Structures are given as structure tokens and as C-alpha cells.
């Protein structure tokens, strides 16, 4: 189940990135810098599902922190 959730989250993120500047311009400050969540792993299509999920969880928690929320209750670490 968690892999399918990770796949949906990753696919959604890729669609948003593909939409380009105007759709995401107001949210750029929520994107974690590569130094925060695994450097090149953020864009690597070769990662295992578990590692992709960990990177997405890190990026999600980064955005939550930027808007003043705590870590996701679904976070493992």
C-alpha cells in the first residue's frame, strides 16, 4: 500500500513540475533544496521505491516546516 501511495505522490509531483513556471511559481519556496533531501536522489528515476518514498517524505516534511506545521503524522523518522 505504501508503495502505491509513494507512486501517486511522485507522479503528482512530476506532473506539477512538468506544468512549468506559472502553475508552481507561488510555491517555489516550499521546494526543498537538493542539500536537504538527498541531493541528486530528488530527481533520480533509478531509486528503489523505498528510497523514492523516503525522499518524497523528506520533501513533504520540508514544505510542512516552511508553512509552520510539524512533521507529517505518517512520517517514519
Query: Tens-digit pLDDT profile for the chain (77 aa)?
Result: 577 777 877 777 777 766 655 555 678 888 888 888 888 888 888 989 899 888 888 988 999 999 988 887 776 65
* Domain ranges within the chain, ordered by starting residue: 2-8+25-66
What three-state secondary structure class fits 38? coil
Tell me how far apart the alpha carbons of residues 33 and 47 are, in angstroms, rounded to a whole number.
Answer: 18
Output 53-59 pairs: Cβ under 8 A, ≥24 positions apart.
53/2, 53/3, 53/5, 53/6, 56/6, 56/9, 56/10, 56/13, 58/32, 59/13, 59/31, 59/32
This prediction has a pTM of 0.59
Q: What pLDDT is attached to residue 77?
A: 54
Q: List the one residue out of 12, 47, 18, 72 whose CA is nearest residue 55.
A: 47
Amino acid at each position: 500500500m505504501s508503495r502505491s501511495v509513494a507512486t501517486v505522490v511522485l507522479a503528482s509531483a512530476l506532473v506539477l513540475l512538468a506544468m512549468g513556471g506559472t502553475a508552481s511559481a507561488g510555491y517555489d519556496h516550499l521546494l526543498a533544496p537538493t542539500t536537504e533531501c538527498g541531493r541528486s536522489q530528488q530527481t533520480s528515476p533509478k531509486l528503489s521505491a523505498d528510497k523514492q518514498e523516503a525522499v518524497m517524505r523528506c520533501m513533504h516534511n520540508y514544505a510542512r516546516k516552511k508553512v509552520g506545521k510539524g512533521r507529517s503524522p505518517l512520517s517514519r523518522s
